[in-house]
């Protein structure tokens, strides 16, 4: 875990941060959020680390433990993209490489011009989810089948001509990592990202060891609130199938403390505690507006809805998830399970807020906390 500091020591207003903590406590007590974990840091130290709420959405559920693990959903995407950037740092692949260079079968049905850059910026023309996503999950299909089905798709628009959020592009990126590195993406990230950073409670898909022992680690996973209908299935967010699947677009299991290490690594230009994960050049590419290099993307998207490589940049005039007060240099991501993480290089600060209450598309509660934290900077 990052070292801690009193808020005023690193330029935060203690009263404002306490307001954010108190608000989360109120929301969990009133059941607006079943559970929440908040980490706020600056200059490499933590000013806030708070866990609130219950292990499960049920009113009589046990309180969340201090070591609670959260399913962060699409906050997974920039983590997977960091794995791709490691291979770029090694000189093994290029952003402009066509996907078919590594997955020849991907070129089917007019996809031969899609590049790795397109996949990382949501400009590939692939859909967010497969048309038969629910059916595949109900069959407990693994990642290989999702990749195979994605390779069979036709594009919704020519690559590089529009911006449309696409989880299946991240699925294909994970397959590129596997074919280039020789390791499944989950193993590559474990060996080259999570373990070097000391992210001891982070996995892309729970391994067998998380189910072993008298107090298995899988029991620390906070359950996401879902509809009664979804809870009747055996493939929803709170099932062993999804916890072990390791979806590279949304299956990361982690803690606020662990994810803070990743965010601080990004703020430190790719290194933490003497361990180099990414080059400063790779971090710069990930956190700069890649849409500027795509002349066919609508001008409004390039200017008002910029994307880096895996990271959403701060969108002007949008309150959703990030709130209203972050600097233009901020980058981050959000997740459908009620999660958000952002880093602001201008202030060398970050926020990690993990909840178990789905809030998309607007993420209003996340944005309120984000505003309180941003307003606490001095």
> Is the pLDDT confidence value at 180 over 80?
yes
What are the pLDDT digits (tens) for 267-277? 999 999 999 99
pLDDT of 360 reads 73
Alpha helices in the chain (DSSP H): 14-29, 76-89, 116-120, 133-138, 143-151, 167-181, 185-189, 195-197, 228-231, 240-245, 256-267, 280-286, 299-304, 364-375
Give residue 362's pLDDT band: very low, low, confident or very high (50, 70, 90). confident
What are the pLDDT digits (tens) for 50-62? 999 999 999 999 9
- All structural domains of the chain, each given as residue ranges with its CATH number in brackets, are 7-69+202-273+314-375 (3.40.710.10)
Instruction: Check if the beta carbon of residue 82 is closer than 8 Å to that of residue 345.
Output: no
The predicted model gives 318-341 an average pLDDT of 96
What are the pLDDT digits (tens) for 79-125? 999 999 999 999 999 999 999 999 999 999 999 999 999 999 999 99
The predicted model gives 200-211 an average pLDDT of 98
> Is the pLDDT confidence value at 361 over 90?
no
Cα angle for residues 256, 262, 266 (degrees, 5° grid): 135
What are the pLDDT digits (tens) for 282-313? 999 999 999 999 999 999 999 999 999 999 99
pLDDT of 316 reads 84
Distance from C-alpha of 324 to C-alpha of 317, rounded to nearest angstrom? 8
Give residue 38's pLDDT band: very low, low, confident or very high (50, 70, 90). very high
Q: Is the dihedral of CA 314, 320, 323, 325 positive or negative?
A: positive
> Is the pLDDT confidence value at 190 over 80?
yes
- What percent of the chain clears pLDDT 70, i.e. is strictly above it? 100
How many alpha carbons lie under 13 Å from residue 89 in its C-beta half-sphere? 19
pLDDT of 317 reads 85
pLDDT of 227 reads 93
């Amino acid at each position: 875990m990052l070292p801690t500091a009193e808020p005023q020591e690193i330029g935060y207003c203690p009263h404002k941060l306490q307001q954010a903590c108190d608000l989360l406590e109120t929301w969990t007590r009133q059941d607006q959020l079943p559970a929440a974990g908040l980490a706020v840091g600056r200059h490499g130290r933590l000013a806030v680390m708070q866990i609130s709420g219950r292990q499960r959405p049920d009113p009589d559920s046990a309180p969340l433990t201090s070591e609670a693990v959260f399913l962060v959903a699409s906050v997974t995407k920039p983590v997977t993209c960091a794995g791709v950037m490691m291979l770029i740092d090694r000189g093994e692949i290029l952003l402009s490489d066509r996907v078919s260079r590594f997955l020849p079968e991907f070129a089917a049905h007019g996809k031969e011009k899609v590049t790795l850059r397109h996949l990382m910026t949501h400009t590939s023309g692939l859909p967010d989810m497969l048309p038969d996503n629910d059916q595949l999950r109900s069959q407990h299909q693994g990642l290989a089948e999702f990749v195979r089905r994605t390779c069979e798709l036709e594009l919704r628009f020519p690559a590089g001509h529009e911006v449309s959020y696409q989880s299946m592009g991240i699925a294909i990126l994970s397959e590129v990592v596997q074919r280039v590195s020789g390791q499944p993406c989950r193993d590559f990230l474990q060996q080259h990202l999570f373990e070097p950073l000391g992210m001891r409670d982070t996995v892309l898909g729970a391994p067998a060891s998380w189910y072993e022992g008298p107090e298995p680690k899988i029991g620390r996973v906070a359950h996401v609130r879902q509809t009664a209908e979804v809870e009747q299935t055996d493939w929803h967010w709170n099932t062993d199938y999804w916890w072990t699947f390791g979806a590279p677009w949304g299956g990361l299991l982690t803690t606020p403390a662990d994810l803070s290490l990743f965010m601080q690594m990004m703020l430190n230009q790719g290194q933490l505690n003497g361990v180099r994960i990414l080059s400063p050049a790779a971090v710069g590419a990930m956190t700069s507006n890649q849409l500027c290099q795509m002349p066919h993307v609508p001008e409004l998207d390039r200017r008002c809805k910029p994307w880096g490589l895996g990271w959403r940049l701060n969108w002007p005039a949008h309150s959703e998830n990030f709130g209203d007060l972050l600097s233009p240099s901020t980058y981050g991501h959000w997740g459908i399970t009620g999660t958000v993480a952002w880093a602001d290089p201008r202030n060398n600060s970050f926020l990690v807020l993990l909840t178990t209450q789905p809030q998309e598309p607007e993420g209003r509660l996340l944005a309120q906390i984000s505003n309180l934290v941003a307003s606490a900077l001095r």
